[in-house]
Amino acid sequence: MALSQQYTTVAVIIKLLAEKERWIRQLNGLRLPARGRPPSLG
| Ordered DSSP codes for 2-28 | HHHHHHHHHHHHHHHHHHHHHHHHHHH
Over residues 3-40, the pLDDT tens digits come to: 899 999 999 999 999 999 999 988 888 776 655 665 55
pTM, two decimal places: 0.51
- pLDDT, position 3: 82
Please give the Cα distance from 9 to 27 (Å, whole number).
27
Spatial contact of 3 and 10, defined as CB atoms under 8 Å apart? no
